[in-house]
Amino acid sequence: MIRIIAVMILFIPGIIGAYGIKLMRDALFSDFYPIFFHISLQFIVGFIMFAAGLAFIGGFLYNRDKKQNLIKNPRFINKKTKEPNGEDK
């Protein structure tokens, strides 16, 4: 049950990102939706939706890889280490 909820949490930003791509494509080919006041506003909203969906999925993958110690680049590894009693070094 928890895995189904986790998949849905990842599925929804993917749909939002895909709809953002569709809005940008439609703005480039002059397919205007009346809910937007101008075609450039439609493109901007589509770009924001695409960027938000991509950032959410990218952040999820980054945090998952960080928890499993799969990140190799030292630029992304925390310099601070925690002591066993919970204090920083």
CA distance 59 to 56: 5
Can you give the pTM of this predicted structure? 0.72
CA distance 14 to 7: 11
Residue with the two structure tokens 């909203």: 45
First to last CA, the chain: 40
Res 34: pLDDT:
81
Alpha carbon 65 to its chain's center: 15
pLDDT exceeds 80 at position 79: no
Res 66: pLDDT:
83
Q: What is the mean pLDDT of residues 58-67?
A: 86
Res 68: pLDDT:
82
